[in-house]
A = this chain, B = another copy of it.
Amino acid sequence: MFIQRLAILGVGLIGGSLARALKRAQVCAEVIGCGRQLDNLQEALRLGVIDHYTTDIAEAVRDADVVVVAVPLGQMASVFSSIRPALAPHAIITDVGSAKASVVEEAYQHLGEHLGRFVPAHPIAGTEKSGVAASFASLFENRRVILTPLAETDPQATALVTQLWQHTGAEVVNMSVEHHDEVLAATSHLPHVLAYSLVDTLAQMEDRREIFRFAAGGFRDFTRIASSDPKMWHDICLANRSAILHVLAQFNADLAELADAIEHGDSAHILSIFSRAKMARDKFSG
């Protein structure tokens, strides 16, 4: 695989890390970055993440062979409609959005004749930081990238996007859009919702200063994800609303059962829940 011209729309944590990884793998002749704010793009250039930049999205995609849309979920629709008239007929388009049904729906609405070369993707990797300054080339190494190709997607486009991600050191797997959104609601979106909500509960308590003063290591790990970008997680909650609310309802039912067992001192029940969870967690973390 060799890409003559790669356009990264949104040179933040994910777009920047992908650009770095592909440069390191030497699979692109030229990487052009696009964003709205000049300072972030200038920093990206200075850091060697991109070769050129423009704030003109049509200019960014003109003559690009591959276009990676790495903007927040709330910006996908507007970016799709802006690039449509400027895309080369052979250009392959892919995205990195954390929820897929909403992005796919917007692609159907706005990508028109380019839809067959659109490959929806989501790298299961990230940190709680944002912006190009937080990006690094090894972010995707040994992580998984989920592709959710559509019935319309050209298999050659899917093959190229697969190779592209493999060059970052990631393992690529395919999944349906719906299944992706369910799995991610359970393993990523719900945990973020719970972490934000717990920290917010504590932050509203009268003795919050003492509360946080006496919080220890377990709390720090448990709430690390509540340091993530609020706007990004707002976008994800709205984009994957129904899957999140569905798994949240299951969680609420299970939590109510546990609370009931605690209230009634039902030792066997509490122990069986905690033991089952520990077993699953230990198995997961290898």
Query: Which residues of A are interface residues toward B (Cβ below 8 A)?
Result: 124-128, 143-144, 146, 179, 182-184, 186-188, 190-205, 207-208, 210-231, 233-234, 237-238, 241, 244-245, 247-248, 250-252, 254-255, 258-259, 262-263, 265, 267, 270-271, 273-285
User: What's the dominant secondary structure at chain A's contact region?
Assistant: helix
A217 contact set on B, CB distance < 8 A: 125-127
How many copies of this chain does the complex contain?
Answer: 2
Q: List 5 A-B contacts (CB under 8 A).
A: A195-B277, A199-B280, A227-B282, A248-B255, A248-B259
Residues of B with C-beta under 8 A to A200 = 254, 258, 273, 276-277, 280
Interchain CB contact under 8 A, B187 and A273:
no
State the 8 A-B residue pairs at the shortest beta-carbon distance, nearest first.
A230-B274, A203-B280, A187-B215, A199-B277, A200-B277, A212-B284, A196-B277, A230-B275
* Complex partner residue of A201 from B195, B245, B254, B283, CB under 8 angstroms: B254
